[in-house]
Structure 1
Amino acid sequence: MAEGYIMALRQKIGHVPLVVACASVIIYDENKGILLQKRKDNGSWCYHGGSIEPGETAKQAAQRELFEEVGLHAQKMNLYTVASGADQHFKYPNGDEVHIVDTVFTCSDFSGAIQLESSEVSDCQWFYWDELPENINLPTKEPIINFVKEHLTNKSKRNKNVY
């Protein structure tokens, strides 16, 4: 969660549920799978992202969050989905409650070395396409599962066309 805008709102309104605009990125590599980070607050795995700051585009926010959380720079990103609804409800351990509207990008064009943001992220690992962890954070679970299924389906179709 961003330290700026949302935290300033929280000081005024407390734990009241908020609808929050977020942006995220699924980092992937054809051979390694997808890169997930482990949240420090609840120990679950998720993709990289957070709330959009005033004046920021969704793309800029996703790039900023990726760099802040794991030290990677996303170059070319593709819009994947906008996730909202019941599965996007999240309650933080401190009692803050959010209903997320998440603009999710995908990216296989990135650079940098993984460096964890120690206050938010406890681990970062590559998970092969068919070996995802069981404890995926609920707001990120459906986009991750759908992306992996689509990738595996497309890979299977590509392989059938190879002679």
Structure 2
Amino acid sequence: MQGYNVLMVYNAAMDRLLLCKRRKNPYQGLSNLVGGKIETGETGQEAAYRELYEETGIPGERIKLHHVMDLTYYWQNCYVEVYAGRLKADMAVFGDENELYWSDLDQNFFDLSMFAGEGNIGHMIEQVKMRRDLLLAD
């Protein structure tokens, strides 16, 4: 079963979330969380920090990622590990794969015409809201 990760990166004030505008399918043109594939021999957490740096330029020492939840897709033979973290201090982000931007949190993240993931992004954000204190403690 192939593993993937998605990363919920909040700014230091926790009032914005880092998203990307997908340049290719699946979900071309929609906003999504950053993330990628867990490579053979990597732990999920190692892959999360690697993908974070590759896709955004954010080094591991600037954020602590928390493993929030997993989604298993048996029919697609894959699973997704969801991580969330808050930047210790705001910084510039950059990436070649997709257009990165900071979104405010008053969006309807369940809107499938704007956001990838069949509503999962909205669900993930709600999970973090319930335990926001864990990210603020870092």
Q: What is the TM-score with the length of structure 1 in the denominator?
A: 0.63
Which one has a larger percent helix, Structure 1 or Structure 2? 1
Corresponding residue of 2:72: 84
Corresponding residue of 1:22: 4
Aligned pair count reads 122
Aligned mates of 1:38, 1:70 — CA distance in 2: 13
Check if 1:149 corresponds to 2:121.
no
Contact 1:23-1:51 within 8 A present in 2 as well: yes
Bigger radius of gyration: 1
Aligned mates of 1:151, 1:145 — CA distance in 2: 10
Aligned runs of 1:1-163 on 2, under 5 Å? 19-29=1-11, 30-41=13-24, 42-74=28-60, 75-85=63-73, 99-109=77-87, 112-117=91-96, 120-121=97-98, 123-132=99-108, 134=111, 135-138=114-117, 141-142=119-120, 144-152=121-129
Aligned mates of 2:9, 2:44 — CA distance in 1: 16
User: Which runs of no fewer than 5 residues in structure 2 stay unpaired?
Assistant: 133-138
SS in 1 for 2:53: helix
Aligned mates of 2:22, 2:81 — CA distance in 1: 19
Identity rate, percent: 23
Contact 1:129-1:152 within 8 A present in 2 as well: no
For the aligned residues, what is the CA RMSD? 2.6
